[in-house]
Structure 1
Amino acid sequence: MIGKGDKMNLETFKHIFYRMPIVVRLLLSVTILMLFFGTVIHVIEPQQFPSVFDGVWWAFVTGATVGYGDYVPLTAPGRIVGIVLILSGGGMLTFYITTLAAKTINHENDLSEGKVSYKGKQHIIVIGWNERTKQLVEMIADKDTNQEIVLIDRTLSELQYRHFPVHFIHGDPSEDAVLVQANIEEAESVLISADITIDERKADINTILATVAVRGNNQDIPINAEILTISQVENGIRAGADTVISSNDFMSTLFYHELFHKAHTRPFETVLNLLNQQQFSHIKLPDELDGSSFKQAVAFFLENHELLLGLIRDSQWIMNPAEAITLDMDDTLVILSTWE
């Protein structure tokens, strides 16, 4: 007769067991079944199976239909046990293997469809999938193969990892649940790319909403947001973006240079190669350069293979200033140096 305590223990076991992943449940069931048959055959034929481990080994080999023949039951009861093992254990092992294979395929499909949460740290989150972000992913992969990238996009139905080295999350980046899936709290930085397939104002509103959501989930993460309309740049900053990339403004300036550049000059290719090979840095004026001329500062940085381009003073950008201009401690210098 089963007591109340035994019933509660049984219910607790069922509660825990049926909440386990199916692969774990199958593995546990197979292990218990093999231990049972291994113990039974050891009890029935102790001479042929000197230890329980020998019996368990025989049970696994027989259940998997490998049949090494190193342990064989000789008595009728032992052979009956072997028949029952083949009928029950063999089917369970086969079911376990096929289930494991199906789980692997389903996980790969879920990964391609953006349903799997990201568990890593120090990753870059890219919001929006387009030709610009596609090239960005390739550039990052070329420079650092160990850098993990998580892509959030609501327009893609699937993205194969073997084609692009990113962890894809399908969903709206302005929703907290989607950002949690991307492990926003442990991310290193976020880039929000504008959707150029829709109206520019609507694209900017989506970018601002995503910026607000990201900042709400991580107060310290650097956010780089692309804004298409000049009127929304300030709103992007108010939403929490550290850097607002006004791509239309940049392209308009580049077009102007292409139209009115001097002969034998190629502005677009020059800027493209410059950005590919060099990086800009903003630094405070070193103490030893306080009161020095711009010309002296240029020589100072050239010794470290860095190029001083200009300075920011009182929020005013002064690029390629007169060589005699005097630098002071409140200046921020604009430096060009090679990628590390």
Structure 2
Amino acid sequence: MPAKSKPSSRRTFFFILKRERFFYILGVTLVILLGGAVALYLTEFGVNKGVGNFFDSIYWAVISMTTAGYGDIAPITAAGRIVAIIVVLSGLLMFSMVTATVASVFVEKKIREGKGLETVKSKEHIVLCGWNTNAEEFIEGLFRSMAVKKLSLVLVNELSEEEVESLKYKYRDQDFRFLRGDFTREDVLARANILKARSAILLADTSGQRSLEKADERTILATLAIKSMAPEVKTCAELLNPENKQHLLRANVDEIVLRGEHIGSLLAGATVSPGIPRVISSLLSPEEENNLWKVEIPERFVGKTVAELAAHLKEKSHALLIALLRERKGLVLDDILTDDMSAIDQFIKRKFEEAEKDLFGKKDRVLVILNPPDHTILTHEHSAVVIARTRP
């Protein structure tokens, strides 16, 4: 499904100007200005030393209509003074209308922005689709985990204006934007500038008095829309019903968080080993100093063992290595073509391009290795997961 063109805020701005008859008012103002300049030139040229050429008349008309009135050029004939009266009075009226029209356009633009109706121009931002009781905890965790001073976050949901204003005030130090609309629609996602987004987070949505019964359905539809418009944007979705997991995977989602997935294991852990659930809860709590961090393997440790990297992280950052992530790249067309690009290779490549389908699936696979053995050899595909107070 091709992505719909993103609405242009510039086109919207000019549409509002046109609707407010700004160009008509501006045109009348220019006609009066030029007419006054011509009339002054015809009545004062050769008589008034201040009007030596037509540019002097233009200059006089501009300062008269804007009520600057420097007094360096003043009409001395009766006809010239009549022209001056007409120009000054017309200028007061027309420039007031121009100023009022421009002011109303900017006020309306600000109101539209406050209501979440404007188009986002941010790049490398995070789009948060939907809202529920866990949303603020997610935002707090995001601000805590991201190693940037100012995070660009765009909310797309149907919260009330009071709730939105409260959130804007709470996160006033961040690049916080709000868009009102149904995030399953491509035109709404286009206004969120999803094509330039860094990632998209989809929550089980309850905004706009929606129930949780159809939350998974909306999450799947939104994922399909995002991936059809911007396949490279990373998506992470919250899922309520585990039976819908396969549908979400078919939508090509990158990460799935299943609500309540490990409740049974946590309850069993609390029974057999009291305190274990508190440890897990503390790690995920925004109030805890220590946090989970994903760290790229430094180049000098590629080819070395986990034990060497763990010792380095412990010494330099007081970080505890608990897992390795291994990212395996998905198969792409170039992987099966030969280097010399024979006639057969060119034919295959042309047919795949004509089909316009990703039959290989470029999706990367991430393998998790908890408590990796000390002798494990690190590669470029690995990244480390550590517990530390700050990002190593």
Q: 1:111-126 maps to which residues of 2 (within 5 A)?
A: 111-126=113-128
- 2:238 pairs with 1:215: no
CA distance 1:252–1:169, shift in 2 (3 Å): farther
Given that 1:64 and 1:90 are in contact with CA atoms closer than 8 Å, whether structure 2 keeps it comes out as yes
Which of 312, 334, 337 aligns to 2:384? It is 334
TM (normalized to structure 1)? Answer: 0.76
Partner of residue 338, structure 2: none
Q: 1:270-289 maps to which residues of 2 (within 5 A)?
A: 270-272=283-285, 273=287, 277-281=291-295, 286-289=301-304
- 2:197 pairs with 1:187: yes
1:49 counterpart SS class: coil
Q: Distance in 2 between matches of 1:256 and 1:31?
A: 81
Identity %: 25
Cα displacement (A) at 1:266? 5.9
Q: 1:146-225 maps to which residues of 2 (within 5 A)?
A: 146-156=150-160, 159-160=164-165, 163=169, 165-196=175-206, 199-225=211-237
Q: 1:33-182 maps to which residues of 2 (within 5 A)?
A: 33-46=32-45, 47-130=49-132, 132-134=134-136, 136-137=138-139, 144=148, 146-156=150-160, 159-160=164-165, 163=169, 165-182=175-192
CA distance 1:109–1:308, shift in 2 (3 Å): same
- 2:320 pairs with 1:320: no
Cα displacement (A) at 1:220? 0.8
Which of 68-77 and 95-104 deviates more? 68-77
Given that 2:294 and 2:383 are in contact with CA atoms closer than 8 Å, whether structure 1 keeps it comes out as no
Partner of residue 244, structure 1: 256
2:293 counterpart SS class: strand
TM (normalized to structure 2)? Answer: 0.67
Given that 2:154 and 2:192 are in contact with CA atoms closer than 8 Å, whether structure 1 keeps it comes out as yes
Tell me the alpha carbon deviations over residues 167-223 of structure 1, each in whole angstroms, 9 at most, x when there is no partner. 322211111111111122122211112125755442111111111111111111111
Q: Distance in 1 between matches of 2:87 and 2:289?
A: 68
1:167 counterpart SS class: strand
Which of 293, 308, 313 aligns to 2:321? It is 308
Given that 1:37 and 1:59 are in contact with CA atoms closer than 8 Å, whether structure 2 keeps it comes out as yes
Q: Distance in 1 between matches of 2:186 and 2:55?
A: 52
Q: Return the letter of the residue paired with 2:71.
A: G
Q: Return the letter of the residue paired with 2:293.
A: Q
2:200 counterpart SS class: strand
Partner of residue 336, structure 2: none
Partner of residue 3, structure 1: none
2:303 counterpart SS class: helix
1:191 counterpart SS class: strand
Tell me the alpha carbon deviations over residues 249-286 of structure 1, each in whole angstroms, 9 at most, x when there is no partner. 367766776776349x6653443255875523476995
Which ranges in structure 1 are unaligned for 5 or more consecutive residues? 1-15
CA distance 1:307–1:36, shift in 2 (3 Å): farther
Tell me the alpha carbon deviations over residues 44-84 of structure 1, each in whole angstroms, 9 at most, x when there is no partner. 22323334444334323332344443332221111111122
Q: Return the letter of the residue paired with 2:252.
A: G
Q: 1:25-36 maps to which residues of 2 (within 5 A)?
A: 25-36=24-35
Q: Return the letter of the residue paired with 1:177.
A: D
Which ranges in structure 2 are unaligned for 5 or more consecutive residues? 1-14, 327-364
Q: Distance in 2 between matches of 1:67 and 1:295?
A: 82
Give RMSD over aligned pairs. Answer: 3.8
Which of 241, 246, 269 aligns to 1:234? It is 246
CA distance 1:134–1:108, shift in 2 (3 Å): farther
